[in-house]
Amino acid sequence: MPNGAKDNEKIVKTITWSAGPGCHGGCGVFIHVKDGKLQKMEGNPDHPYNNGRLCPRALAIKDYIYHPDRLRSPLKRVGKRGENKWEKVSWDEAYDIIEKRMNELRQKYGAESMIFIQGTGRNVGGWLLLLSYSYGSPNWLQGGLTGNSCFHPRLVSMRITQGDYTVPDCSQFFQERYDHPEFVLPQCTLIWGQNPAATCNDGFMAPWIIDCMKRGTKAIVVDPIYTWVASKAAIWLQLRPGTDGALALGLLNVIINEGLYDKEFVNKWTHGFDQLKERVQEYPPHKVSQITWVPEEKIIEAARLFATSHPASVQWGVPVDMAAEGAIVCNAVIHLWTITGNIDVPGGMAIARMAYDVPPYPMSQEAIAEYYGDVMPPEQMRKRIGVDVYPMVKEFHWRAQADMILKAMLTDEPYPLKGAWIAGNNMLASAANPRKYYEALNRLEFIVVVDLFMNPTTVALADIVLPAATMAERTGIRAWWTPLNAMQQAIEVPGCKPDEEICFELAHRFNPNLKWKSLRQLFDDFLRPSGLNYDQLKEKGWVFPPQGHPTAPYRRHEKGLLRKDGKPGFNTPTGKIELYSTHFERWGYDPLPYYAEPHWSPYSTPDLAKEYPLILSTGRRSVLFFHAEHRNIKSLRELEPHPVLEIHPDTAQSLGIQDGDWVWVESPNGRCKRKAKYFHGIDPRVVQTLHGWWLPEKRAEDLFGLWEVNVNQLIPDETQAQCGFGGGQYKSILCKVYRAEEGIEGIYQKESL
């Protein structure tokens, strides 16, 4: 415990997760509490996830928790949707209204008519699933995400191709971290579409990559933007946005044709190498250079460095998912670490199972079946939207398919959707083609929104609003690529409830026969594989599985620890990593990776490119904000007050745009305002901006300026991959930029928040 606790102050050891810092969570922290109120939060230097480091959002947690605009009571809408007229009600009254309305929908239309929507990486995921299944609906999803194009293409592709999820081994599986005797520092890490200095994605703390670089790991960076990590890289590959698949195939071409692959590993542990070798002949470096804009010699240099570095790893971001045919692009990248023998070895790609197989955030159908499988009848499960169209959804995913949900809301096919539960997802600020979602969701008869602040989605759509709690107000467990952790409640904010409690209490209302009678009983049940109950885990804080356990590295494929039959190999139909996918072949898809041009591009739609000559990449990460959160936190917003568009000075000046001018950014789908920011580290043909913008300082009745600043209006939907995973065109939109006659009236001033 830290020194320096003051009189009457207690210190609570826990970990972060949304809500509060946002993020996918995992950082160990100490919360200082006095007279029942949080005084500050500091990093726990002993926790192996963050070793004491915290992001600005975590350091601003007090401002977030005690913000004057935070919701403190359930609300019932009394005006029309969007009028921002509400009546405070008690929790019991809110629950009664929800139970009555949802039971009416279930009786009239079937439980499947209710959809359950979460935001990305939220702790609410597993608990919302429990509520959805207890009610009887199989339609749980991450709403607004066309092609499920955020992490899910990577997850599903890894499961199909190699049988398990993998992440770069940066020693995070050991308490001693870099000093553990079994850990080997990677000689090279290929950082693909991510800026580790500004993000913590998918449960993986990206600064771990920087820690390895400090110790000598060389970096190859694939990014259209000259990021901080690109400035430190041995090689920077500045590709055209959306062409990731071609680049991966070009790298494979060089590695295979020059004989740089691990022949022993390929011969013993892979399936379909000869077919892959034949396929990559279609992608020689000179051709790939023409597609990607990366110089041919750079492609060859990068391939040689990666293939001759032992061990080596790949840290990738959402641009891979968001490339055309994203799941296929993921496969091509997976093959890079596979044919070089960099899987399940120290310093390579570590097979990352939940610690002790404890799934508080279930990320596989197997985990869901084990813990929730008897909650809902199989015939009801078969109604999950997307399973009849996309075999990958049916066999390897655990949610409804987002594009099919949107279609169902608008067409009543395959059946009518009539209600929605939206938890921690400001959909109108984050969905692709949000005006279409606005129309679709307004067709529903009943919508519950659970969040911490009023936002555009809450005001525009909610019939009932429930005030959620932050990570400091929650008890729970977490296991995601790292130790098994206990979360413990440090404070209580009157009127607010954690998502776990909300979902659990209502799950019991819809299914009184639920086997767990309390959350503590549920936690203890989930923790059984670890041999601990919640109180024991809380006392320890976190635990690692012992060496030799199926959820602890390394070389489990050699020891028979990955397959249920106990045989050596990988958890795939062939027992090998499938360079030629038997699953894709069975489903009628191409079993080998290939390149597909983005839906809109200078080459696939040349006529459109004449009017919209620039390529817009959205979603640039900021350490200050998590998606659409934190725009109302003064200490953070002061550091990045305006929605900016990064543009090369030569491009801007050719358009008559000065640094700091307000501009319109327009695609065939819509337009929004941005403030131009000169940036030399970007191709003159490319512009870049953050997503998730809305303006809390503006009127709620005007949806907080949403339609003026929301860049997702420019993003088309229905660009998903043929398999349903990937292809959301968030990173490679055709656009034009021109000066706006006026800026945004009433935008952020220091005193306005």
Q: What pLDDT shows up at residue 746?
A: 72
Give the model's confidence band at 270: pLDDT under 50 very low, under 70 low, under 90 confident, else very high: very high
CA 495 and chain centroid, separation: 29
Query: Do 187 and 135 fall into the same domain?
Result: no
Give a yes or no: residue 115 inside a domain.
yes
Q: Retrieve residue 650's tokens.
A: 């030569």
- List, for residues 696-714, the tens digit of each pLDDT value: 999 999 999 999 999 999 9
**Cβ contact 27:10 at 8 Å:** no
303 and 421 both lie in a single domain: no
Asked if residue 42 lies in contact with residue 2, where contact means CB atoms within 8 angstroms, the answer is: yes
Question: Residues 229-251: what's their mean pLDDT?
Answer: 98
**Which pLDDT band, with edges at 50, 70 and 90, does 3 fall under?**
low
- What angle in degrees, to the nearest 10, is found between the helix axes of 273-280 and 244-257? 110
- Domain CATH code at residue 15: 2.20.25.90
| Position 231 in a domain | yes
Summarize pLDDT for 11-27 with one digit per residue, the tens. Answer: 999 999 989 999 888 89
Q: What is the pLDDT of residues 620-669, one digit of tens each?
A: 999 999 999 999 999 999 999 999 999 999 999 999 999 999 999 999 99
Give the count of beta carbons closer than 10 Å to the beta carbon of residue 108. Answer: 11
Question: Is a pLDDT exceeding 80 seen at residue 340?
Answer: yes
**Position 189 pLDDT exceeds 80:** yes
405 and 383 inside one domain: yes
In the predicted structure, residue 78 carries a pLDDT above the cut 90: yes
- Is 470 in the same domain as 431? yes
Same domain, yes or no: 109 and 177: no
Residue 2 has pLDDT above 80, yes or no: no
Q: Is residue 752 predicted with pLDDT exceeding 70?
A: no
Asked whether residue 242 falls in the same domain as residue 105, the answer is no
- Across residues 396-411, what is the average pLDDT? 95
Same domain, 647 and 681: yes
* Residue 590 within a domain: no
CATH code: domain of residue 474: 3.40.50.740
Higher per-residue pLDDT: 203 or 77: 77
Q: Which two tokens stand for residue 78?
A: 């009394």
In angstroms, rounded to a whole number, what is the distance separating the alpha carbons of residues 504 and 741? 52
Q: Is 460 inside any structural domain?
A: yes
- Which region holds residue 345: left if phi is over 0, alpha if psi is between -120 and 50, else beta? beta
Domain range holding 621?
A: 606-752
What pLDDT was estimated at residue 750? Answer: 59
Work out the mean pLDDT of the chain and round it to a whole number. Answer: 95
- Mark whether 314 and 414 lie in a shared domain: no
For the four alpha carbons of 66, 498, 121 and 36, in that order, the dihedral sign comes to positive
Sheet of strand 188-192, all strands in order from the earlier edge strand to the far edge: 235-237, 218-222, 188-192, 312-316
What mean pLDDT is predicted for residues 135-150? 94
pLDDT tens-digit map of 572-630? 999 999 999 999 999 999 999 999 999 999 999 999 999 999 999 999 999 999 999 99
What's the confidence (pLDDT) of residue 677?
98
Q: Name the residue among 743, 747, 680 with its Cα closest to residue 238.
A: 680
Among the candidates 523, 543, 563, a domain finishes at: 543
Q: Which two tokens stand for residue 506?
A: 């209502």
pLDDT-derived band at 6 (thresholds 50, 70, 90) equals: low
Which CATH number fits the domain that encloses residue 304?
Answer: 3.40.228.10
Contact (Cβ atoms closer than 8 angstroms) between residue 715 and residue 598: no
User: Which CATH number does the domain housing residue 643 bear?
Assistant: 2.40.40.20
Q: Looking at the domain assignment, is residue 564 inside a domain?
A: no
Q: Has residue 748 got a pLDDT over 80?
A: no
Rounded (5°) CA angle 579-580-581:
105
Residues 523 and 638 in one domain: no
Q: Which of 508, 528, 543 is the last residue of a domain?
A: 543
pLDDT category at 480 given cuts 50, 70, 90 is confident
**Model confidence at 262: pLDDT above 70:** yes
User: Are 636 and 673 a contacting pair, CB within 8 Å?
Assistant: no
Query: Is-cis flag, bond preceding 332, omega within 30?
Result: no
Domain closes at, from 352, 380, 414: 352
Tell me: do 284 and 249 sit in the same domain: yes
How many domains in the chain?
A: 4
Exposure of 1 in the CB half-sphere (CA atoms within 13 A): 11
Lookup: tokens for 686: 């490319």
| Position 454 pLDDT exceeds 70 | yes
Confidence at residue 1, expressed as pLDDT on a 0 to 100 scale: 64
Residue 37 confidence class, pLDDT cut points 50, 70, 90: very high
Whether residue 314 lies inside any domain: the answer is yes
Q: Verify that 386 and 303 share a domain, yes or no.
A: no
With a cut of 80, say whether residue 362 has pLDDT above it.
no
Average pLDDT, integer, range 49-58? 94
Residue 535 has pLDDT above 70, yes or no: yes
Residues 238 and 266 in one domain: yes
Whole-model pTM: value is: 0.97
Q: Is residue 553 part of a domain?
A: no
The answer to whether residues 674 and 685 touch, using CB atoms and an 8 Å cutoff, is no
Q: What is the pLDDT of residue 363?
A: 66
The whole-number pLDDT of residue 200 equals 73
Residue 563 within any structural domain of the chain: no
Percentage above 70 pLDDT, the chain: 98
CA distance 104 to 101: 5
Q: Phi and psi for 499 in degrees, rounded to 5? A: -55, -35
Looking at residues 120-140, what average pLDDT do you find? 90
**Three-class HEC string of 704-744:** HHHHHHCHHHHCCCCCCCCCCCCCCCCCCEEEEEEECCCCC
